[in-house]
Structure 1
Protein backbone atom coordinates (compact mmCIF):
# COMPACT_ATOMS: atom_id res chain seq x y z
CA UNK A 1 0.00 0.00 0.00
CA UNK A 2 1.29 3.46 -0.87
CA UNK A 3 2.20 5.51 2.18
CA UNK A 4 0.25 8.71 2.83
CA UNK A 5 1.93 11.89 1.69
CA UNK A 6 2.76 14.16 4.62
CA UNK A 7 2.57 17.90 4.63
CA UNK A 8 5.85 19.79 5.16
CA UNK A 9 4.84 20.71 8.71
CA UNK A 10 3.82 17.11 9.50
CA UNK A 11 7.14 15.85 8.20
CA UNK A 12 8.99 18.36 10.35
CA UNK A 13 6.95 17.40 13.41
CA UNK A 14 7.42 13.68 12.87
CA UNK A 15 11.13 14.22 12.42
CA UNK A 16 11.27 16.26 15.63
CA UNK A 17 12.44 19.31 13.69
CA UNK A 18 9.66 21.72 14.56
CA UNK A 19 7.92 22.75 17.71
CA UNK A 20 4.31 23.81 18.05
CA UNK A 21 1.10 21.80 18.03
CA UNK A 22 1.62 18.11 18.62
CA UNK A 23 -1.93 16.76 18.58
CA UNK A 24 -3.34 15.35 15.36
CA UNK A 25 -6.15 17.90 15.43
CA UNK A 26 -3.79 20.87 15.73
CA UNK A 27 -1.53 19.53 13.01
CA UNK A 28 -4.50 18.97 10.70
CA UNK A 29 -5.77 22.50 11.35
CA UNK A 30 -2.36 24.04 10.68
CA UNK A 31 -1.89 22.01 7.51
CA UNK A 32 -5.26 23.12 6.14
CA UNK A 33 -4.56 26.75 6.99
CA UNK A 34 -1.17 26.80 5.26
CA UNK A 35 -1.93 24.40 2.42
CA UNK A 36 -1.39 25.53 -1.16
CA UNK A 37 -5.15 25.81 -1.90
CA UNK A 38 -5.72 27.90 1.25
CA UNK A 39 -2.83 30.24 0.45
CA UNK A 40 -3.92 30.54 -3.20
CA UNK A 41 -7.52 31.35 -2.26
CA UNK A 42 -6.41 33.89 0.34
CA UNK A 43 -4.07 35.53 -2.17
CA UNK A 44 -6.91 35.76 -4.70
CA UNK A 45 -9.17 37.35 -2.09
CA UNK A 46 -6.47 39.88 -1.20
CA UNK A 47 -6.12 40.79 -4.90
CA UNK A 48 -9.87 41.24 -5.27
CA UNK A 49 -10.15 43.34 -2.11
CA UNK A 50 -7.04 45.41 -2.94
CA UNK A 51 -8.41 46.10 -6.43
CA UNK A 52 -11.72 47.31 -5.02
CA UNK A 53 -12.96 48.18 -1.54
CA UNK A 54 -9.50 48.39 0.09
CA UNK A 55 -8.14 51.06 -2.25
CA UNK A 56 -9.34 53.89 -0.04
CA UNK A 57 -7.64 52.26 2.96
CA UNK A 58 -4.41 51.82 1.00
CA UNK A 59 -4.54 55.50 0.07
CA UNK A 60 -5.13 56.53 3.67
CA UNK A 61 -2.24 54.41 4.95
CA UNK A 62 0.25 55.47 2.27
CA UNK A 63 1.81 58.40 4.13
CA UNK A 64 5.56 57.64 3.83
CA UNK A 65 5.53 57.53 7.60
CA UNK A 66 9.27 57.47 8.23
CA UNK A 67 9.69 60.79 6.45
CA UNK A 68 7.20 62.26 8.93
CA UNK A 69 8.32 60.47 12.07
CA UNK A 70 12.11 60.62 11.89
CA UNK A 71 13.83 61.42 8.57
CA UNK A 72 17.23 60.79 10.19
CA UNK A 73 16.44 57.07 10.12
CA UNK A 74 15.99 57.00 6.34
CA UNK A 75 19.59 56.03 5.44
CA UNK A 76 19.57 53.16 7.94
CA UNK A 77 16.17 51.92 6.77
CA UNK A 78 17.00 52.19 3.07
CA UNK A 79 20.60 50.96 3.11
CA UNK A 80 20.62 48.44 5.96
CA UNK A 81 17.18 47.14 6.85
CA UNK A 82 15.51 47.06 3.43
CA UNK A 83 18.26 45.18 1.51
CA UNK A 84 18.07 42.22 3.91
CA UNK A 85 15.21 40.76 1.84
CA UNK A 86 16.68 41.81 -1.50
CA UNK A 87 18.20 39.54 -4.13
CA UNK A 88 21.72 40.77 -3.43
CA UNK A 89 21.53 39.37 0.12
CA UNK A 90 19.05 36.52 0.26
CA UNK A 91 19.96 34.76 -3.00
CA UNK A 92 23.69 34.35 -2.24
CA UNK A 93 22.74 33.10 1.22
CA UNK A 94 20.39 30.48 -0.24
CA UNK A 95 22.97 29.42 -2.83
CA UNK A 96 25.65 29.20 -0.14
CA UNK A 97 23.47 26.94 2.00
CA UNK A 98 22.59 24.80 -1.02
CA UNK A 99 26.21 24.45 -2.16
CA UNK A 100 27.46 23.44 1.28
CA UNK A 101 24.66 20.90 1.81
CA UNK A 102 25.06 19.53 -1.73
CA UNK A 103 28.77 19.00 -1.12
CA UNK A 104 28.21 17.33 2.25
CA UNK A 105 25.48 15.03 0.94
CA UNK A 106 27.10 14.58 -2.49
CA UNK A 107 23.73 15.32 -4.06
CA UNK A 108 22.58 17.84 -6.64
CA UNK A 109 19.10 18.06 -5.10
CA UNK A 110 19.77 21.00 -2.72
CA UNK A 111 21.00 23.01 -5.70
CA UNK A 112 17.87 22.09 -7.64
CA UNK A 113 15.66 23.27 -4.78
CA UNK A 114 17.54 26.57 -4.57
CA UNK A 115 17.23 27.03 -8.33
CA UNK A 116 13.52 26.25 -8.30
CA UNK A 117 12.97 28.71 -5.45
CA UNK A 118 14.60 31.49 -7.46
CA UNK A 119 12.74 30.43 -10.60
CA UNK A 120 9.48 30.51 -8.67
CA UNK A 121 10.23 34.05 -7.58
CA UNK A 122 11.28 35.35 -10.99
CA UNK A 123 8.79 33.49 -13.18
CA UNK A 124 5.86 33.02 -10.81
CA UNK A 125 5.78 36.08 -8.59
CA UNK A 126 7.47 38.23 -11.23
CA UNK A 127 4.80 37.33 -13.78
CA UNK A 128 2.08 38.20 -11.29
CA UNK A 129 3.67 41.62 -10.70
CA UNK A 130 3.80 42.32 -14.44
CA UNK A 131 0.28 41.02 -15.03
CA UNK A 132 -1.36 43.11 -12.30
CA UNK A 133 0.57 46.29 -13.26
CA UNK A 134 0.06 48.30 -10.09
CA UNK A 135 2.02 51.48 -9.47
CA UNK A 136 4.06 52.16 -6.35
CA UNK A 137 2.42 53.83 -3.38
CA UNK A 138 4.15 57.20 -3.80
CA UNK A 139 2.52 57.58 -7.23
CA UNK A 140 -0.81 57.82 -5.34
CA UNK A 141 -2.78 55.53 -7.67
CA UNK A 142 -3.74 52.22 -6.04
CA UNK A 143 -5.54 50.84 -9.09
CA UNK A 144 -4.46 47.65 -10.81
CA UNK A 145 -3.69 47.41 -14.53
CA UNK A 146 -2.94 51.16 -14.62
CA UNK A 147 0.87 51.15 -14.55
CA UNK A 148 3.05 48.46 -16.09
CA UNK A 149 6.67 47.44 -16.54
CA UNK A 150 7.04 49.11 -19.95
CA UNK A 151 5.32 52.33 -18.91
CA UNK A 152 6.88 52.86 -15.47
CA UNK A 153 9.64 50.27 -15.10
CA UNK A 154 9.95 48.79 -11.63
CA UNK A 155 7.61 51.53 -10.35
CA UNK A 156 4.77 49.89 -12.26
CA UNK A 157 4.96 46.40 -10.78
CA UNK A 158 4.20 46.97 -7.12
CA UNK A 159 1.86 44.05 -6.32
CA UNK A 160 2.82 41.72 -4.76
CA UNK A 161 5.81 43.08 -2.88
CA UNK A 162 8.98 41.40 -4.11
CA UNK A 163 10.90 41.88 -0.88
CA UNK A 164 8.06 40.49 1.24
CA UNK A 165 7.74 37.43 -0.99
CA UNK A 166 11.52 36.87 -1.06
CA UNK A 167 11.69 37.08 2.72
CA UNK A 168 9.34 34.11 2.96
CA UNK A 169 10.32 32.15 -0.15
CA UNK A 170 14.11 32.48 -0.36
CA UNK A 171 14.91 32.45 3.33
CA UNK A 172 12.22 29.82 3.90
CA UNK A 173 13.81 27.58 1.25
CA UNK A 174 17.17 27.90 3.01
CA UNK A 175 15.63 26.86 6.33
CA UNK A 176 13.86 23.97 4.62
CA UNK A 177 17.16 22.69 3.24
CA UNK A 178 18.78 22.90 6.66
CA UNK A 179 15.82 21.19 8.34
CA UNK A 180 15.46 18.34 5.84
CA UNK A 181 18.93 17.81 4.42
CA UNK A 182 21.14 18.17 7.48
CA UNK A 183 21.21 16.87 11.02
CA UNK A 184 20.27 20.28 12.42
CA UNK A 185 18.81 20.18 15.90
CA UNK A 186 15.21 20.91 16.72
CA UNK A 187 16.24 24.08 18.56
CA UNK A 188 18.36 25.39 15.69
CA UNK A 189 15.55 24.91 13.18
CA UNK A 190 13.14 26.72 15.47
CA UNK A 191 15.55 29.64 15.79
CA UNK A 192 15.94 29.78 12.01
CA UNK A 193 12.19 29.68 11.50
CA UNK A 194 11.76 32.62 13.84
CA UNK A 195 14.55 34.41 11.97
CA UNK A 196 12.50 34.09 8.76
CA UNK A 197 9.49 35.55 10.58
CA UNK A 198 11.59 38.48 11.81
CA UNK A 199 13.00 39.10 8.32
CA UNK A 200 9.52 38.99 6.78
CA UNK A 201 8.15 41.43 9.37
CA UNK A 202 11.18 43.69 8.94
CA UNK A 203 10.76 43.76 5.17
CA UNK A 204 7.05 44.56 5.38
CA UNK A 205 7.35 47.23 8.07
CA UNK A 206 10.31 48.97 6.43
CA UNK A 207 8.66 49.06 2.98
CA UNK A 208 5.47 50.39 4.55
CA UNK A 209 7.22 53.09 6.58
CA UNK A 210 9.25 54.19 3.57
CA UNK A 211 6.07 54.38 1.50
CA UNK A 212 7.41 52.13 -1.23
CA UNK A 213 4.46 49.73 -1.13
CA UNK A 214 0.76 49.79 -0.47
CA UNK A 215 -0.23 47.84 2.64
CA UNK A 216 -2.04 45.27 0.50
CA UNK A 217 1.12 44.81 -1.61
CA UNK A 218 2.93 43.57 1.49
CA UNK A 219 0.17 41.17 2.53
CA UNK A 220 0.06 39.87 -1.02
CA UNK A 221 3.83 39.44 -1.08
CA UNK A 222 3.87 37.36 2.09
CA UNK A 223 1.09 35.15 0.74
CA UNK A 224 2.68 34.79 -2.70
CA UNK A 225 6.04 33.86 -1.23
CA UNK A 226 4.40 31.39 1.13
CA UNK A 227 2.42 29.82 -1.71
CA UNK A 228 5.46 29.26 -3.93
CA UNK A 229 7.43 27.91 -0.97
CA UNK A 230 4.59 25.53 -0.08
CA UNK A 231 4.39 24.23 -3.64
CA UNK A 232 8.16 23.71 -3.74
CA UNK A 233 8.28 21.94 -0.37
CA UNK A 234 5.30 19.72 -1.23
CA UNK A 235 6.94 18.73 -4.51
CA UNK A 236 10.24 17.87 -2.82
CA UNK A 237 8.61 15.86 -0.04
CA UNK A 238 6.57 13.84 -2.53
CA UNK A 239 9.60 13.22 -4.74
CA UNK A 240 11.67 12.06 -1.78
CA UNK A 241 8.84 9.84 -0.57
CA UNK A 242 8.52 8.20 -3.99
CA UNK A 243 12.28 7.63 -4.12
CA UNK A 244 12.22 6.03 -0.67
CA UNK A 245 9.32 3.79 -1.68
CA UNK A 246 11.18 2.65 -4.80
CA UNK A 247 14.24 1.80 -2.73
CA UNK A 248 12.10 -0.10 -0.25
CA UNK A 249 10.48 -2.28 -2.92
CA UNK A 250 11.81 -5.89 -2.76
CA UNK A 251 13.79 -7.05 -5.76
CA UNK A 252 11.79 -9.35 -8.01
CA UNK A 253 12.91 -12.95 -7.95
CA UNK A 254 14.79 -14.11 -11.04
CA UNK A 255 12.69 -16.13 -13.49
Structure 2
Protein backbone atom coordinates (compact mmCIF):
# COMPACT_ATOMS: atom_id res chain seq x y z
CA UNK A 1 0.00 0.00 0.00
CA UNK A 2 1.38 3.41 -0.98
CA UNK A 3 2.36 5.64 1.89
CA UNK A 4 1.74 9.38 2.13
CA UNK A 5 5.38 9.96 1.25
CA UNK A 6 5.06 7.82 -1.88
CA UNK A 7 1.95 9.71 -3.01
CA UNK A 8 3.64 13.06 -2.47
CA UNK A 9 6.69 11.90 -4.40
CA UNK A 10 4.55 10.61 -7.27
CA UNK A 11 2.68 13.92 -7.65
CA UNK A 12 5.91 15.90 -7.43
CA UNK A 13 7.40 13.86 -10.28
CA UNK A 14 4.20 14.22 -12.32
CA UNK A 15 4.16 17.99 -11.82
CA UNK A 16 7.82 18.20 -12.77
CA UNK A 17 7.24 16.24 -15.97
CA UNK A 18 4.33 18.51 -17.01
CA UNK A 19 5.33 21.87 -15.48
CA UNK A 20 3.51 24.24 -17.83
CA UNK A 21 0.28 22.25 -17.81
CA UNK A 22 0.25 22.05 -14.00
CA UNK A 23 1.07 25.75 -13.78
CA UNK A 24 -1.81 26.61 -16.11
CA UNK A 25 -4.29 24.46 -14.18
CA UNK A 26 -3.26 25.88 -10.80
CA UNK A 27 -3.37 29.44 -12.13
CA UNK A 28 -6.87 28.89 -13.53
CA UNK A 29 -8.03 27.45 -10.19
CA UNK A 30 -6.52 30.40 -8.32
CA UNK A 31 -8.24 32.95 -10.55
CA UNK A 32 -11.56 31.10 -10.41
CA UNK A 33 -11.50 30.84 -6.62
CA UNK A 34 -10.45 34.50 -6.29
CA UNK A 35 -13.29 35.58 -8.57
CA UNK A 36 -15.75 33.42 -6.60
CA UNK A 37 -14.64 34.95 -3.29
CA UNK A 38 -14.95 38.42 -4.80
CA UNK A 39 -18.46 37.64 -6.01
CA UNK A 40 -19.47 36.43 -2.54
CA UNK A 41 -18.09 39.56 -0.94
CA UNK A 42 -19.91 41.78 -3.43
CA UNK A 43 -23.10 39.74 -3.09
CA UNK A 44 -23.34 39.77 0.70
CA UNK A 45 -21.31 42.82 1.69
CA UNK A 46 -23.38 45.59 3.24
CA UNK A 47 -21.90 49.11 2.98
CA UNK A 48 -21.13 50.89 6.23
CA UNK A 49 -23.92 53.42 5.87
CA UNK A 50 -26.55 50.73 5.24
CA UNK A 51 -25.50 48.23 7.89
CA UNK A 52 -27.79 47.57 10.85
CA UNK A 53 -24.73 46.86 13.00
CA UNK A 54 -23.20 49.53 15.23
CA UNK A 55 -19.99 51.00 13.75
CA UNK A 56 -17.75 49.10 16.16
CA UNK A 57 -19.48 45.77 15.45
CA UNK A 58 -19.30 46.45 11.70
CA UNK A 59 -15.56 47.02 11.98
CA UNK A 60 -15.18 43.90 14.13
CA UNK A 61 -16.83 41.73 11.46
CA UNK A 62 -14.48 43.02 8.78
CA UNK A 63 -11.43 42.58 10.98
CA UNK A 64 -12.55 39.07 11.92
CA UNK A 65 -12.61 38.12 8.23
CA UNK A 66 -9.09 39.48 7.86
CA UNK A 67 -7.99 37.67 10.99
CA UNK A 68 -9.32 34.41 9.54
CA UNK A 69 -7.19 34.92 6.45
CA UNK A 70 -4.15 35.67 8.62
CA UNK A 71 -4.65 32.53 10.69
CA UNK A 72 -5.15 30.34 7.62
CA UNK A 73 -2.00 31.61 5.90
CA UNK A 74 0.01 31.36 9.11
CA UNK A 75 -1.22 27.78 9.61
CA UNK A 76 0.00 26.78 6.13
CA UNK A 77 3.39 28.32 6.85
CA UNK A 78 3.60 26.63 10.26
CA UNK A 79 2.72 23.22 8.81
CA UNK A 80 5.48 23.48 6.20
CA UNK A 81 7.98 24.75 8.75
CA UNK A 82 7.10 21.94 11.17
CA UNK A 83 7.51 19.31 8.45
CA UNK A 84 10.93 20.67 7.53
CA UNK A 85 11.88 21.11 11.17
CA UNK A 86 11.23 17.49 12.15
CA UNK A 87 12.64 15.00 9.68
CA UNK A 88 11.70 16.79 6.48
CA UNK A 89 12.44 13.57 4.59
CA UNK A 90 9.24 13.19 2.58
CA UNK A 91 8.91 16.89 1.74
CA UNK A 92 12.61 17.16 0.96
CA UNK A 93 12.43 14.20 -1.41
CA UNK A 94 9.37 15.63 -3.14
CA UNK A 95 11.07 19.03 -3.47
CA UNK A 96 14.15 17.47 -5.04
CA UNK A 97 12.14 15.20 -7.33
CA UNK A 98 10.17 18.17 -8.64
CA UNK A 99 13.33 20.22 -9.19
CA UNK A 100 15.05 17.36 -11.03
CA UNK A 101 12.05 16.72 -13.29
CA UNK A 102 11.58 20.43 -14.11
CA UNK A 103 15.23 20.64 -15.14
CA UNK A 104 14.67 18.25 -18.04
CA UNK A 105 11.02 19.03 -18.87
CA UNK A 106 10.76 22.81 -19.16
CA UNK A 107 11.33 24.20 -22.69
CA UNK A 108 14.21 26.71 -22.94
CA UNK A 109 11.91 29.46 -24.28
CA UNK A 110 9.61 29.09 -21.27
CA UNK A 111 12.59 29.14 -18.93
CA UNK A 112 13.78 32.42 -20.43
CA UNK A 113 10.29 33.91 -20.12
CA UNK A 114 10.09 33.02 -16.44
CA UNK A 115 13.63 34.34 -15.95
CA UNK A 116 12.36 37.75 -17.11
CA UNK A 117 9.18 37.47 -15.03
CA UNK A 118 11.06 36.76 -11.82
CA UNK A 119 12.87 40.12 -12.13
CA UNK A 120 9.60 41.85 -11.22
CA UNK A 121 10.19 40.77 -7.62
CA UNK A 122 13.92 41.47 -7.39
CA UNK A 123 14.91 43.61 -4.41
CA UNK A 124 15.87 46.54 -6.67
CA UNK A 125 12.56 46.35 -8.56
CA UNK A 126 10.42 46.28 -5.42
CA UNK A 127 12.50 49.03 -3.79
CA UNK A 128 12.01 51.26 -6.83
CA UNK A 129 8.29 50.49 -6.91
CA UNK A 130 8.03 51.24 -3.19
CA UNK A 131 9.66 54.65 -3.61
CA UNK A 132 7.63 55.64 -6.69
CA UNK A 133 4.26 54.70 -5.17
CA UNK A 134 5.12 56.37 -1.85
CA UNK A 135 6.07 59.60 -3.64
CA UNK A 136 2.91 59.51 -5.77
CA UNK A 137 0.72 59.05 -2.68
CA UNK A 138 2.54 61.77 -0.76
CA UNK A 139 2.11 64.22 -3.64
CA UNK A 140 -1.63 63.48 -3.64
CA UNK A 141 -1.76 64.29 0.07
CA UNK A 142 -2.31 60.66 1.14
CA UNK A 143 0.52 60.56 3.66
CA UNK A 144 -1.04 57.95 5.94
CA UNK A 145 -1.62 55.61 3.04
CA UNK A 146 1.94 56.24 1.82
CA UNK A 147 3.25 55.33 5.28
CA UNK A 148 1.17 52.14 5.32
CA UNK A 149 2.47 51.21 1.86
CA UNK A 150 6.12 51.69 2.86
CA UNK A 151 5.73 49.78 6.14
CA UNK A 152 4.05 46.90 4.31
CA UNK A 153 6.72 46.48 1.64
CA UNK A 154 9.73 47.20 3.84
CA UNK A 155 8.32 45.22 6.77
CA UNK A 156 7.94 42.12 4.63
CA UNK A 157 11.60 42.40 3.66
CA UNK A 158 12.63 42.45 7.32
CA UNK A 159 10.27 39.58 8.14
CA UNK A 160 11.55 37.40 5.30
CA UNK A 161 15.19 38.06 6.16
CA UNK A 162 14.50 37.09 9.78
CA UNK A 163 12.71 33.87 8.80
CA UNK A 164 15.53 32.89 6.43
CA UNK A 165 18.06 33.30 9.24
CA UNK A 166 15.93 31.23 11.61
CA UNK A 167 15.46 28.25 9.27
CA UNK A 168 18.79 28.55 7.39
CA UNK A 169 17.79 26.16 4.60
CA UNK A 170 20.27 25.66 1.77
CA UNK A 171 19.10 26.45 -1.76
CA UNK A 172 18.84 23.78 -4.47
CA UNK A 173 21.76 23.50 -6.87
CA UNK A 174 21.21 25.84 -9.83
CA UNK A 175 24.67 26.48 -11.26
CA UNK A 176 23.53 26.03 -14.89
CA UNK A 177 20.41 28.22 -14.94
CA UNK A 178 19.78 31.70 -16.34
CA UNK A 179 19.28 33.18 -12.85
CA UNK A 180 21.62 32.85 -9.88
CA UNK A 181 20.68 33.41 -6.24
CA UNK A 182 22.59 33.26 -2.98
CA UNK A 183 21.68 33.13 0.69
CA UNK A 184 19.22 30.92 2.48
CA UNK A 185 16.18 29.45 0.76
CA UNK A 186 13.24 29.21 3.18
CA UNK A 187 10.88 31.01 2.74
CA UNK A 188 11.10 32.47 -0.77
CA UNK A 189 11.57 36.23 -0.59
CA UNK A 190 10.47 36.75 -4.19
CA UNK A 191 7.22 34.91 -3.46
CA UNK A 192 6.36 36.79 -0.28
CA UNK A 193 7.57 40.09 -1.72
CA UNK A 194 5.42 39.78 -4.83
CA UNK A 195 2.32 38.96 -2.77
CA UNK A 196 2.82 41.96 -0.50
CA UNK A 197 4.01 44.51 -3.07
CA UNK A 198 1.54 43.73 -5.85
CA UNK A 199 -1.27 42.89 -3.44
CA UNK A 200 -0.78 46.24 -1.68
CA UNK A 201 -0.54 47.99 -5.04
CA UNK A 202 -3.91 46.51 -6.01
CA UNK A 203 -5.35 47.65 -2.66
CA UNK A 204 -3.99 51.18 -3.11
CA UNK A 205 -5.36 51.43 -6.65
CA UNK A 206 -8.82 50.29 -5.52
CA UNK A 207 -8.86 53.37 -3.30
CA UNK A 208 -8.68 55.60 -6.39
CA UNK A 209 -10.20 53.71 -9.32
CA UNK A 210 -13.90 52.97 -10.05
CA UNK A 211 -15.40 49.70 -8.81
CA UNK A 212 -15.32 48.07 -12.25
CA UNK A 213 -11.51 47.96 -12.01
CA UNK A 214 -11.34 46.31 -8.60
CA UNK A 215 -11.76 42.68 -9.62
CA UNK A 216 -9.27 42.90 -12.53
CA UNK A 217 -6.76 44.46 -10.13
CA UNK A 218 -7.19 41.67 -7.60
CA UNK A 219 -6.97 38.95 -10.24
CA UNK A 220 -3.95 40.58 -11.87
CA UNK A 221 -2.10 40.84 -8.55
CA UNK A 222 -2.91 37.22 -7.67
CA UNK A 223 -1.80 35.93 -11.08
CA UNK A 224 1.42 37.93 -11.00
CA UNK A 225 2.38 36.88 -7.47
CA UNK A 226 1.63 33.23 -8.18
CA UNK A 227 3.56 33.28 -11.47
CA UNK A 228 6.59 34.89 -9.85
CA UNK A 229 6.51 32.21 -7.16
CA UNK A 230 6.34 29.47 -9.80
CA UNK A 231 9.24 31.10 -11.66
CA UNK A 232 11.46 30.49 -8.64
CA UNK A 233 10.71 26.75 -8.88
CA UNK A 234 11.21 26.63 -12.64
CA UNK A 235 14.54 28.46 -12.31
CA UNK A 236 15.52 26.03 -9.51
CA UNK A 237 16.59 28.79 -7.14
CA UNK A 238 13.97 27.64 -4.63
CA UNK A 239 12.26 24.42 -3.66
CA UNK A 240 8.49 24.22 -4.04
CA UNK A 241 8.01 24.25 -0.25
CA UNK A 242 10.04 27.49 -0.07
CA UNK A 243 7.68 29.12 -2.54
CA UNK A 244 4.54 27.84 -0.83
CA UNK A 245 5.81 29.10 2.52
CA UNK A 246 6.70 32.45 0.97
CA UNK A 247 3.23 32.83 -0.53
CA UNK A 248 1.70 31.95 2.85
CA UNK A 249 3.85 34.34 4.88
CA UNK A 250 3.31 37.10 2.32
CA UNK A 251 -0.46 36.59 2.41
CA UNK A 252 -0.49 36.73 6.21
CA UNK A 253 1.59 39.92 6.29
CA UNK A 254 -0.53 41.50 3.53
CA UNK A 255 -3.69 40.78 5.51
CA UNK A 256 -2.13 42.29 8.65
CA UNK A 257 -1.14 45.45 6.78
CA UNK A 258 -4.49 45.99 5.05
CA UNK A 259 -6.39 45.31 8.29
CA UNK A 260 -4.16 47.82 10.11
CA UNK A 261 -4.72 50.47 7.44
CA UNK A 262 -8.47 49.91 7.54
CA UNK A 263 -8.47 50.14 11.34
CA UNK A 264 -6.51 53.40 11.15
CA UNK A 265 -8.99 54.77 8.59
CA UNK A 266 -11.86 53.92 10.91
CA UNK A 267 -10.31 55.67 13.90
CA UNK A 268 -9.46 58.77 11.86
CA UNK A 269 -12.99 58.87 10.43
CA UNK A 270 -14.75 58.59 13.81
CA UNK A 271 -14.44 62.28 14.79
CA UNK A 272 -15.91 63.31 11.41
CA UNK A 273 -18.87 60.92 11.78
CA UNK A 274 -19.49 62.10 15.35
CA UNK A 275 -19.42 65.73 14.27
CA UNK A 276 -22.10 65.30 11.56
CA UNK A 277 -24.31 62.92 13.54
CA UNK A 278 -27.66 64.65 14.43
Residue segments in structure 2 that go unaligned for 5+ positions in a row: 1-36, 46-60, 175-180
Counterparts of 2:80 and 2:186, CA distance in 1: 11
The Cα shift of 1:19 comes to: 3.7
Partner residue, 1:110: 145
**Could you state the TM-score of these two structures normalised by the residue count of structure 2?**
0.68
Q: In the TM superposition, what is the alpha-carbon distance from 1:67 to its structure 2 partner?
A: 5.3
Q: Distance in 2 between matches of 1:195 and 1:66?
A: 28
| Alignment match, 2:167 | 132
- Cα displacement (A) at 1:92: 2.3
2:74 pairs with 1:40: yes
8 A Cα contact 1:94 1:171, kept in partner: no
Deviations 1:132-184 (A, max 9, x none): 10011228xxxxxxxxxxxxxx634111111111111011111111123x2x1
Structure 1 residues 127 and 40, CA, compared in 2 at 3 Å: closer, same or farther? same
Contact 2:186 2:245 in 1 (8 A): yes
Query: Of residues 18, 38, 44 in structure 2, which corresponds to 1:23?
Result: 44
Greater helix content: 2
* Cα distance in 2 for residues equivalent to 1:157 and 1:71: 26
Q: Matched residues in 2 for 1:37 and 1:19: separation?
A: 19
**1:213 maps onto 2:238 in alignment:** yes
Match of 1:171 in 2: 198
Name the TM-score, length of structure 1 as normaliser. 0.74
Q: CA separation in 2, counterparts of 1:160 and 1:227?
A: 13
220-229 or 56-65: bigger deviation: 56-65
User: Structure 2 matches for 1:83-94, cutoff 5 A?
Assistant: 83-94=119-130
Q: Name 1:199's counterpart in structure 2.
A: 224
Asked if structure 1 preserves the Cα contact closer than 8 Å seen for 2:157 and 2:189, the reply is no
Shift of 1:221: 0.6
Q: Which position in structure 1 is the counterpart of 2:49? A: none
**Preserved CA contact (<8 Å) 2:38 2:215:** yes
Report matched runs for 1:239-250 at 5 Å: 239-250=264-275
1:100 equivalent to 2:139? Answer: no
Residues 33/239 of structure 1: CA separation in 2 closer, same or farther (3 Å cut): closer
Give the CA RMSD over aligned residues: 2.7
Q: Which residue of 1 aligns with 2:118?
A: 82
Residue-pair matches, total: 213
Partner of 1:55: 92
* Equivalent position to 1:228, from 237, 241, 253: 253
Segment of structure 1 superposing worse, 60-69 or 159-168? 60-69
Q: Is this contact kept in 1: 2:66–2:259, CA < 8 A? A: no
Asked whether the 8 Å contact 2:99–2:236 carries over to 1, the reply is yes
C-alpha displacement of 1:89: 2.4
Alignment gaps of 5+ in structure 1: 1-17, 140-153
**Cα distance in 2 for residues equivalent to 1:74 and 1:35:** 33
Indicate if the aligned counterparts of 1:19 and 1:190 stay in contact, CA closer than 8 A. Answer: yes
Task: Give the C-alpha shift of residue 197 in structure 1.
Answer: 1.4
